[in-house]
């Protein structure tokens, strides 16, 4: 991965963009796409598109990675200026305790800290109880409701104030790796294809609202707009190489082990086979993942879009998911992008995805 790609990734990860409020990272993604894509656009859902046109009569390939992240939202400002909040997406409530946050206020970012009663002030029986979001608040330093409301409003979103950190062995740590890196990988795959084109038309999509997309979110609407012949979703999956994880329940997935290919009821078996064959031909290591019911990714929404879209899921191993300090390996991002690009070059009008 070259320095320019790392800087793009860093900017993408650092930009706050919880579900429903993805415009910041989406703009960064589109600005980067304009460097090599033939067309770049956005839609009313906030989805971003970058396309390389293929030969006439050839199929359309969709690469999708969601650009949103989990976050929080102000639901009440009290008389003392404390901001009470609820979650955007799935959280372990304990993660919030003692964190700094950044709220997307009316005139720009507003910094705050998560407040909680100090342990010294708790009764003994309360000290052992887990923290709940309903008992936490955001302190932005205001001394009154009136002052606080000059900075924030009910409905303002926010994220944990955690930034990109490079670590040894090509590992990086950040919030929003789930799944800003999916949006990154699909655009990097398109960058590869700009240098060595596919016959197919290829559109990379940074989809929105996956973390709250109970009805399909931006993935479903973007698939309806593109009408792809085949789609590949890029997301993260749990690295199970940390202490205490039961591999007999969750599989064996190692950080740095390459992309993870899912098999299951909402991925097309011929897409899966073509991905695996492509990885073998390109010398890209990969791991299998079983998804017997659903994948809990954009693949679920795209697979059942329109009349049905043959869909594959390529995942990146990720430690500490849905925390301020998720961890991935840069080599796994490179391998995933290379796999997608090579897959697209193999798709032609003769390729069948009927099982």
Q: Which of 210, 211, 252, 326 is catalytic?
A: 210
Measured between alpha carbons, how far is 312 from 246 in angstroms, rounded to an integer? Answer: 26
| DSSP helix/strand/coil, 220 | helix
- Angle, in degrees to the nearest 10, between helices 3-14 and 177-195: 150
Q: Which of 291, 222, 287 is nearest to 256 (CA)?
A: 287
Find tokens 């995933």 and name the residue: 336
Cis peptide before 90 (omega within 30 of 0): no
Structure token digits, residue 44: 């009313």
**HSE value, Cβ hemisphere, 13 Å, CA-based, for 82:** 10
Q: Quick check: 253 and 268 in contact, CB under 8 A?
A: no
Q: Which of 254, 201, 193 is nearest to 227 (CA)?
A: 201
Measured between alpha carbons, how far is 191 from 179 in angstroms, rounded to an integer? Answer: 19
Q: Does 210 qualify as catalytic in the annotation?
A: yes
How many residues appear in the chain?
A: 355
Q: Quick check: 207 and 57 in contact, CB under 8 A?
A: no
List active site positions.
210
């Amino acid at each position: 991965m070259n320095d320019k790609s790392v800087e793009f990734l860093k900017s993408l990860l650092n930009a706050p963009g919880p579900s429903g409020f993805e415009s910041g990272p989406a703009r960064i993604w589109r600005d980067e796409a304009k460097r090599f894509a033939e067309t770049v656009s956005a839609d009313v859902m906030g989805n971003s598109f970058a396309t390389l046109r293929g030969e006439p009569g050839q199929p359309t390939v969709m690469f999708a990675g969601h650009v949103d992240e989990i976050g929080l939202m102000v639901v009440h400002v009290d008389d003392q200026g404390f901001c009470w909040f609820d979650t955007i997406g799935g959280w372990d409530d304990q993660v919030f305790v003692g964190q700094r946050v950044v709220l997307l206020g009316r005139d720009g970012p507003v910094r705050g800290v998560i407040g909680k009663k100090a342990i010294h002030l708790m009764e003994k029986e309360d000290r052992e109880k887990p923290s709940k979001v309903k008992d936490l608040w955001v302190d932005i330093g205001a001394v009154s409701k009136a002052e606080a409301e000059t900075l924030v409003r009910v409905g303002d979103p926010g994220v944990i104030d955690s930034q990109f950190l490079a670590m040894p062995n090509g590992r990086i740590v950040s919030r929003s790796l789930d799944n800003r890196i999916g949006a990154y990988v699909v655009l990097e795959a398109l960058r590869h294809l700009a240098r060595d084109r596919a016959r197919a038309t290829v559109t990379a999509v940074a989809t929105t609202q996956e973390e709250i997309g109970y009805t399909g979110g931006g993935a479903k609407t973007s698939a309806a707009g593109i009408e792809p012949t085949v789609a590949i979703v890029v997301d993260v999956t749990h690295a199970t190489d940390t202490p205490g994880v039961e591999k007999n329940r969750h599989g064996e997935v190692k950080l740095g082990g390459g992309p993870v290919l899912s098999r299951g009821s909402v991925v097309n078996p011929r897409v899966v086979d073509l991905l695996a064959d492509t990885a073998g031909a390109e010398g890209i290591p990969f791991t299998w993942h079983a998804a017997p019911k659903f994948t809990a990714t954009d693949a679920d929404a795209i697979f059942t879009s329109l009349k049905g879209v043959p869909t594959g899921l390529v995942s990146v191993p990720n430690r500490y998911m849905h925390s301020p300090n998720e961890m991935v390996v840069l080599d796994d991002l490179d391998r995933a992008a290379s796999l997608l690009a090579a897959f697209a070059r193999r798709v032609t009008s003769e390729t069948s995805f009927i099982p």
